[in-house]
Structures are given as C-alpha cells and as structure tokens.
A = this chain, B = another copy of it.
Amino acid sequence: MARHLRRAPVDVTLVDRRNFHLFQPLLYQTATGGLSPGDIATPIQHVLRKHRNVRVVMDEVVHLDARARTLVTREGELPYDTLVLAAGVANHYLGRDDWTPLAPGLKSIEDAISIRRRILRAFEAAEMEADATQRAELLTFVVIGGGATGVELAGAVAELARYTLRREFRSIDPRSSRVMSVEASDRILGELAPSLSVRASQSLERLGVEVMTGTTARAIDAAGVDLEVGGHRERVGARTVLWAAGVRAAPLAHALQEATGCAVDGIGRICVEPNLSVASHPDIFVIGDMAHVAYRGKPIPCIAPAAIQQGKFVARVIADRLAGKTPPTPFRYFDKGSLATIGRSAAVGEFRGMRFWGFPSWLAWLFIHLIYLIEFENRILVLIQWVNMYVGRRRGARLITEGG
C-alpha cells in the first residue's frame, strides 16, 4: 500500500515491530536449512528508500484511540488521518496454549531458526544415543496440520533426512527417520480439489512421509504426541513435533475491536466492509490476513496474492478520496489460485478451475516464488541455493545457533 501511494499527496508512516519485510512463503526452507534468514528478508527501509513520502518506524502499536485518531505505541503516540492495519496472523493452538513450547509454529524468522535448531539437534543427539528406543524417538518428526505450510514442512524434513544428511553420520542412518504429516480432516491441502490432495499424498509418501488424515493430536509432551485416529488413541514417541494446524489474528485485531466495536470472525479477524474499511470508521482499513473479506460466499484465504491486491485497492481508495474522485468499491478479488510444493520436482496447484501437478507445476512454483521475492539480489541468492539444494541435494544453512 505504501508503494502504491508513491504519487499521492500524502505522508505515510509505516510502523512495524521488525525492521524487515519477511517473505513468508519460503520460511519453511529457512526452518529446514535450505536458505539463510537474510535471503528471504529485506529491510523495510531499503524496500521503500526511494519513496520520499514514506517514513519507516520500528515500533509496536499497543493501543488505538479511534475517536482521537491516535495510535499509542511503545515509544510514544502517532496521530493519523487514515489508518491501515495489516498485522497478519499468529500461531493458534486451538485452546491449548500450553503446547506452544512443545510444538513450535512457523511464523517468524525466530520460529524458523528455532525449528531448524530442533530438527538438526535431534539428528546430532540420535548419533550419540545408545538406546534404540530413544534413538527412534529422536528420529521421529511429527508435523501437525496438513495445509500448505504443514505439507511443505513435512516434505522438506523428509528430504533433509533422506538425501541431504544421508552420508553425514556414522552411527545412525538418517534415512531411517520417520516423518509424519497429521491432518484432522479427511484429506491434506483441503483448499484444493480432492484429486490434487491424492497426488500430494502420493508425492509425500514417495518421500517417505506417513500421511495420516482423520487424525487429531490429543496430547503433546516432550517425548511425543497422543494421536486420535478413528476413535482410538495411539501414542507416537517423537522428540520433534511441529505445529502448522491453526492461526489467529494478531493481538492488534483485538485492540481494534475494543476501540471500534467492530465484528470479528471465529479466529479474531476483522469483518470489514466491501471497501475493506471498518464499519462506521471509513478512516480505518484492515488488509491482509487480519481481514475477513467475504467473497462469493466464503472468506478470501490468508495468502499473499490477496493481501497484495488489497494493499493496492486501499491505496487507490485513499488517493481518490483526496483527489475528490469517487473511490472504487467493492474490493474485487482476483483468485490467482493455490500452489504447494512437496520436495524436489513435485508440486500441486489450481488456477481458475485448471489443475496442475508434477514437474511442470514445480517449475511454476519455483518461478513464481523467485519473481515475488522483493529484492533482485535475494532472487539470485535464492536461485543459487536452490540449484545447490535441488541438484546437489545440499542445504547450506544448516546451523544450530542459540536464541532466535
């Protein structure tokens, strides 16, 4: 949105807790040692350096006063004429917040580094473990949630074990690792056509992933997970459990609800007007994953193409209002489809009713993700590491580091 306001007579202040823009779709590759954090993140100030009407501030919004048109941040106060909120979603443990440390989710760079550390440490610990049962637990990886993130993560962990680490240990054979993809509904990638779910399951199984649909996690502890499959419980000993089963709107949505009394959906997203503004607050917009936008009877999915289109739309509304023109309404979503990748040379996707799978759709996945990386330099860096990873089966960023 800030980019599209470049020529409008406005001053934009962009507030973010972080100093960088994160390319979320490739975060699972950082979590599995394929890419470095710097490859998928770019300083926001750098992205907007030529936008002289944009000021970037690293700060956190804690409260908002819709009547006084003021944001209260950690560092002070920020008055506004028009407010656009795009704070996204966070991991959601469906009422089991105690699972947070046991089964980390994948939303931030810190999450990715922490997951990378867990996965790589498990192999190191297994190499030193004398007891066979303990070793099996260390070499079992459970990914809860069979959406795009869960499927991509499970595929990447299986590739790491089966190919990248194959020759690098002496006591263990990483290929004996167990990777499980657990999904509560009856198929993975539920947003795609059923035939593509079948293809995705087959691709995962070819990589050695056990796909368990109709399966729910009932309990998670440090040594494993209790699964419920078709009415009976099953214990799986696993030292690494990863969470990709649910998200909820960022806390800022709650602050907005308190300030304006607006409606929210079941996961806390703001239900916005057709022009993406908040009911009876035409000066406040919500875009991206944090907004619940009805479109042809169901909400627009939490994906980047929708957020990008919404940013562009709101920039247009703001500019037209200032120019005295009638702003466009309602927001029209152009569905660019969905695409999920499963390891090397397999992907499934859908676009306007057409279905894609196998190598061609994997190539399309590569190409689209490279194009949408925000910085040219990062495109080259990612491309080189992909050649290394997909041709040489190597992963260069396999570091176990402390902290974030």
A58 partner, pick from B57, B58, B400, B403, beta carbons under 8 A: B400
A49 sits at the interface (CB 8 A): yes
Query: What B residues does A338 contact at CB under 8 A?
Result: none
Q: How many copies does the complex hold?
A: 2
Contact B36 A39, beta carbon cutoff 8 Å: yes
Q: State the CA gap A276–B131 with chains docked (Å).
A: 38
A401 proximal to B (CB < 8 A): yes
A320 proximal to B (CB < 8 A): no
15 A-B pairs in the complex with CB atoms less than 8 angstroms apart: A19-B399, A20-B399, A36-B36, A36-B37, A36-B397, A37-B401, A41-B399, A49-B167, A56-B168, A109-B401, A113-B403, A375-B396, A381-B384, A402-B404, A404-B404
Further 20 A-B residue pairs, CB within 8 A, beyond A113-B404, A401-B404: A19-B399, A20-B398, A36-B37, A36-B39, A38-B396, A42-B396, A43-B168, A45-B168, A45-B169, A55-B171, A58-B124, A58-B400, A113-B401, A377-B384, A377-B392, A380-B384, A381-B384, A381-B385, A384-B384, A403-B404
Q: Are A75 and B398 in contact (CB under 8 A)?
A: no
Nearest CB on B from A131, distance (A) = 12
CB-defined contacts of A169 to chain B, threshold 8 Å: 45
Contacts of A113 in B (CB 8 A): 401, 403-404
Q: Are B57 and A128 in contact (CB under 8 A)?
A: yes
Mark each residue of chain A from 152 to 181: 1 if its CB lies under 8 Å from any CB of chain B, else 0: 000000000000010111110000000000
User: CB of A127 within 8 A of chain B?
Assistant: yes
Which of B42, B49, B109, B120 sits near A19, CB closer than 8 Å? B120
The reply to whether B168 and A46 contact each other, CB–CB distance below 8 Å, is yes
